[in-house]
Structure 1
Amino acid sequence: MMTTSTTSGTTRISGMTRLRTTTFAVAGGLAVGNLYWAQPLIQEIARSLDVSAAAAASLVTVTQIGYALGIFLIVPLGDVLNRRKMIPLMLGLSAIALISAAVSPTFSLLLAALGGVGLTTVSAQLLTPLASELAAPEQRGRVLGTIASGALIGVLLSRTISGAVAEFIGWRAIYVLAAVLAVTLAVVLSFIIPRLEKRPATNYFRLLGSVFTTVAQHRAAAPTVLISAIVFSVFSLFWTSLTYLLAGPTFSFTVGQIGLFGLAGLAGALAARRAGSFHDRGLSVPVSGVALGILAVSLLGAWLAQSSVVALVVVVIALDLAAQATLVLGQTRLLSLPGQNRSRLNTAFIVSNFLGGAIGSALAGPLWTAGGWTTITLTGLAMVAGALLVWLFTRRALTDQI
């Protein structure tokens, strides 16, 4: 339902229509997908720029670190600035960084450009708390589940699309395409995002510091952030390492074939699209525990399935379903907490996730060298066991809505 009101001469339109929800999901998918264009292209970029595969893998890590910095330094401003102007601006800056990546002649310049992509591609994490504000309480879980699924679908499809594009016209073309899409979405969102009430100005450094105090104010926040960070670290470790497995002697897949595995992950993400509705029914915490259990079983299956394409596809679907459900429910719990500091709560959530993701990506190369796929899956299992212990001992705190 849509409502309008007037405050100090500013018309405010509230409500998350299907069109607005879908547009936010698509924009979020593109923004987050920008972080992962390079993931299936590691070997291709390494050959093109004459660096080792291990060095090329650092492209994903640097992009994630840039993203974490962007989330921490920029997203809290969503609680005080005009997001109707801010979000299209960030998409425009992201387009500039993407073009810089496309024309980078050396590995060091590409590394810097992708750091810039990570720093500026934060629009998804400005849109999510905005959607939480606009959505009615009884639809918040479903709306946030759809938008979060759009982000994960972007992550997964980015691998498939970048692999296919690189196969036919080279790896640089994907960054040009992403820049064009970013500019297009900037224009669309400038019309789709409604006018919002002005909020009081806040000192920037005090605003950044309040990210930590905001988390401390809510009992459910810290364990939710920790569990989600561990899950995203496992997710990133798995997908980065899967490239090594599929490109290795057992399968010898091309970048295009590796990218197609993103379609299997897409099936899992689509299956988890309505995970947020469990929050609306009061089942967020128990379903999170079930999802963590499925994630552990998926990693065990990944170890057993290391020589079977069909079995790996099944594992990818289950793993992405479990990871997506855990992340959606965690984010929905945070953004359903009372107050007007949702952008700061979302900042804590996403920064922790992508620092976890950067750790997972960084571990992939050394762990693969040390013991291959077995070491990768055992490490992932140990991390999920840690998340399950946190969930077990903080279940009561996770249900708090204060």
Structure 2
Amino acid sequence: MAPSAAQQPPLQNVAPAIRPRTGPGRGTVLLLSAAVGLCVASNYYAQPLLGTVAGDLGMSATAASLIVTVSQIGYALGLVFLLPLGDLLERRRLVCGLTLATSGSLALTAIAPNGALLLAGAALTGLLSVTAQILVPFAADLAAPHQRGRIVGTVMTGLVLGMLLARAASGALATTGGWRTVYGVAALAMLVLTAVLHRALPQLRGTAALRYPGLVRSTARLLVEEPVLRVRAAIGMLAFACFSVLWTSLAFLLSGPDHGWSEAEIGLIGLFGAAGAVAAQLAGRLADRGLTTHTTIASAVALLASWGLLLPGAHSLVLLIAGIVLLDLAHQGVHITNQSLIYALRPDARGRITSAYMTCYFAGGAIGSALAAVVHARAGWTGVCALGAVLAVALCLVWVASIARVPRTGSRELWSVAGAVFLGASVLALIAAVLRLAL
């Protein structure tokens, strides 16, 4: 029997720290993980379809490549202008409204009769795909403090898998029914997701006492007011820059004379990124145990050492794959640890904190991609690995500088991180020396 009106639970409009600490059920966590995966996948369906779409709509290759560009621009705008709304509006209604709108933008893409409408649909889908980044702090809000890292890690696993599987699903559907089928099925999936989320998620109202313009302005102020956010945003930016340097340059290496892979074979290498899903789970659980320092140190060392494996990967597929797996593990380890820490700062501002962090994170990816293209053209794979190693060292230095300011435990942690950086650099130098002697 349904409870009476007097027994109905009130709308959750208080800070998460004083909510009941039972946390969401496993089904809710898995639903959030699946929802995040579907939302982020919306931005990746186009990548294997560019040639087919260009031929069907009479677009040039350059115009077709703009599909990816406008999606990224839309996503960047969404990080700045949509994410802060999570601190202002009722969260379930906001999420469902955005997923419903995403269904519409995907449908527009599916029926687009020309390139202009297709690009409009792609830009709108990119803007709305930041719903995934609204769902992550939603999960953090629902979680009890002792389980927040694990739940965020589980939800982020969905994000990693969504990125990986989107391309494969897109290619399979396009082979069966054409590229429009991909977007039609995706639109239907988002429509179903909207109904499920509306039925399953609890109401959760934002508590920010600001109007929207002030809300957006306050996002930038958080980077000034919160040192942990500032440091973790810088670390996340450098970690994602390393990630982008690798994946921007990898196609050039694998399609070159040393490997000679086809486009389909190059696409399969992305499946090794599934290692990031494992790292997301592990990093989340370690964060719940208060081991964020250890996780950051281990991830920073792994990030640096991965470039020592990737360098000889130009001539060894085994070492290349090992380096890819290690880098993905390290990148996700840093990212999940960062999120676990920043979500503990200001429960009333998690939307804006996510906006500030993810804007810096996304900027790091863009900078890494741009640098990788220039460096690869001038110095090849060796230059790319040197660039990645420099970025990894910069990440370690940011971490060392941040903990050096902690008066009581900073000294001990400083030596730990300095030792870790030295160890990582030694591994890198050793592999480089062995490679030099072997060649």
Q: Please give the range of the TM-score, normalised by the shorter of the 2 chains.
A: 0.7 to 0.9
SS of structure 2 residue aligned to 1:10: coil
Change (3 A) 1:378 1:43: farther
Could you tell me which residue of structure 2 aligns to residue 10 of structure 1? 10
Could you tell me which residue of structure 2 aligns to residue 93 of structure 1? 101
CA distance in 2, matches of 1:238, 1:58: 22
Instruction: Trace 1:3-402 onto structure 2 (pairs within 5 A).
Output: 10-12=10-12, 15-40=23-48, 51-52=60-61, 59-104=67-112, 109-166=117-174, 169-197=177-205, 199=207, 202-395=210-403
Equivalent pair of 2:89/2:205 in contact (CA under 8 Å): no
Change (3 A) 1:239 1:287: same
CA distance in 2, matches of 1:109, 1:241: 31
CA distance in 1, matches of 2:64, 2:382: 22
SS of structure 1 residue aligned to 2:348: coil
| 1:205 Cα offset (Å) | 0.5
Change (3 A) 1:185 1:240: farther
SS of structure 2 residue aligned to 1:305: helix
| 1:33 Cα offset (Å) | 2.4
Structure 2 unaligned segments of length 5 or more: list them: 13-18, 409-439
CA distance in 2, matches of 1:187, 1:159: 25
SS of structure 1 residue aligned to 2:311: helix
SS of structure 1 residue aligned to 2:32: helix
CA distance in 2, matches of 1:122, 1:325: 21
CA distance in 2, matches of 1:6, 1:351: 43
CA distance in 2, matches of 1:46, 1:368: 27
| 1:334 Cα offset (Å) | 0.2
Equivalent pair of 1:163/1:255 in contact (CA under 8 Å): no
Give me the TM-score of the superposition, normalised by structure 2: 0.80
After the TM superposition, which of the residue ranges 333-342 and 295-304 deviates more from structure 2? Answer: 295-304
Change (3 A) 1:163 1:112: same
Change (3 A) 1:166 1:389: farther
Matched AA of 2:170 = S
Equivalent pair of 2:36/2:162 in contact (CA under 8 Å): yes
Matched AA of 2:152 = L
Change (3 A) 1:256 1:126: same
1:83-129 deviation line (CA, Å, top 9, x unaligned): 11110111122222223334446556544432222111122111111
SS of structure 2 residue aligned to 1:132: helix
Could you tell me which residue of structure 1 aligns to residue 436 of structure 2? none
| 1:145 Cα offset (Å) | 1.2
Change (3 A) 1:156 1:399: farther
SS of structure 1 residue aligned to 2:202: coil
Equivalent pair of 2:153/2:284 in contact (CA under 8 Å): yes
Matched AA of 1:238 = L
1:128-168 deviation line (CA, Å, top 9, x unaligned): 11211111111111111111222122222223333444555
CA distance in 2, matches of 1:115, 1:399: 47
What is the identity percentage for the equivalent residue pairs of Structure 1 and Structure 2?
Answer: 36
CA distance in 2, matches of 1:235, 1:215: 23
Equivalent pair of 1:160/1:263 in contact (CA under 8 Å): no
Equivalent pair of 1:157/1:266 in contact (CA under 8 Å): no
Equivalent pair of 1:101/1:110 in contact (CA under 8 Å): yes
| 1:252 Cα offset (Å) | 4.3
1:328-372 deviation line (CA, Å, top 9, x unaligned): 000110001144111110111111112222333344544444344
CA distance in 1, matches of 2:249, 2:54: 16
| 1:323 Cα offset (Å) | 0.6
Change (3 A) 1:88 1:199: same
| 1:289 Cα offset (Å) | 2.4
CA distance in 2, matches of 1:309, 1:341: 45
CA distance in 1, matches of 2:69, 2:76: 11
Equivalent pair of 2:88/2:205 in contact (CA under 8 Å): no
Name the larger-Rg structure. Answer: 2
CA distance in 1, matches of 2:156, 2:250: 23
1:258-301 deviation line (CA, Å, top 9, x unaligned): 33223211134224422112222222123212212211222232
Change (3 A) 1:196 1:339: closer
CA distance in 1, matches of 2:118, 2:225: 40
Change (3 A) 1:338 1:65: same
Question: Relative contact order: is structure 1 or structure 2 higher (C-alpha 8 Å, sep ≥ 6)?
Answer: 1
| 1:396 Cα offset (Å) | 5.3
